[in-house]
Amino acid sequence: MIGAKLKIALLYDVWNEDPVAAAAKEEPAAAAVRKPRKKVKTVKKEKTDRQEIFEALQKLGHEPSYFELDGRPQSLHSLSRSDADLIFNLTESFDGDDTKEMNVVAYVDLLGLRYTGAGPHAIILAQDKAIAKKIFAFHGIKTPFFATAYRGRIEHAHDISFPLIVKPSWEDGSIGIDAGAVVKNVKEMMERVEYIQDEFDSPALIEEYIEGREIYAGILGSYERAQVLPMIELDLSRLPEGTPRIASYDVKFEKNTEVYKLTKSQIAENLDEDTMKRLSDTALAAYRALKLRDYGRIDMRLAPNGDVYVIEANPNPWLASRQEFAMAAKASGLSYTEMIGAIIDLAMSRYLNANLATAVAVR
């Protein structure tokens, strides 16, 4: 079915929103506006990622539609009756609960529907940062030494030393990360751990702070064959003196703050061939270790001595045209529409290969 015209449903989640009011803001084909991604403040004149993907699918000759999960069982029941050839999965939660993101994908799996992006296994491994870091260590992938703390229980994975960065173990999109996340002594660490537990009801991930450049590697492909896109750097060099050079929530998403205006994502420059190879090899190893597929983004730190550390892996990263993944795809020579087409082809190839394997096994 690759290259054929497909019925593609863009699956997205909304929560705590008046369906009637939401519907008025969306295209006629959509039931409501998906919750604003926690990664960004809504800007009226900017298209949402799903609007851009919808238009790209139309340009590719497919038949796109919107499918909303609103947190009610009825929306799950409706999904079970979908006749789409492929689900383009844009969900991040169910009823606002990010920890249930993998449950949505597992449900789609149970229904036997084809869909883009990571499976439930990959999502749970990437979402639990402590587990992901243990897997990285097993595969010989450098990651900052760490420990976790929750309600008086501390799990030591390594001996760690200050400065440290303390953040929620289960959140993404820089949630829970601000200038106070970097701590220099035990008192600051304990206060931050308590804040994380109280504010997010999440174990606190306590890891060594790695000074260096913030590098993102977008990857397109399957476990067997994957392409590392050109590296993107979040340039933190202009942050005010004394401000931790970290990708805090303000730095990444609060457009009215000084730190947002002083930072920007751009194609990484001044990287020699050996460094580029280490970054690419590390990103690809992390992508495979967590069983990511179709597309993903690996966030890394490049230390002054040239060591590469994986900070976290992101299944199904944000696909807005102004964001890092699309920026990397463009630098590789892919237009936005071609990038969406590549993701569709990768997903459909996976199901085609699975069907062929089944047919061979039956013989």
Using the predicted structure, report yes or no on whether residue 25 has a pLDDT greater than 60. Answer: no
> Three-state SS for 140?
coil
Mean pLDDT of 50-70: 97
C-alpha dist (Å) from residue 249 to 177, 246, 321: 6, 9, 20
Cβ pair 14, 33 in contact under 8 A = yes
Q: List the structure tokens of 337.
A: 């529409």
Residue the block writes with tokens 């751009």: 266
For helices 129-138 and 120-127, the axis angle rounded to 10 degrees is 100
Higher pLDDT, 1 or 54: 54
Least confident of 154-158, 182-186, 198-202: 154-158
pTM, entire model = 0.86
pLDDT tens-digit map of 192-206: 999 998 888 888 999
Provide the pLDDT confidence category of residue 154 given band limits of 50, 70 and 90.
confident
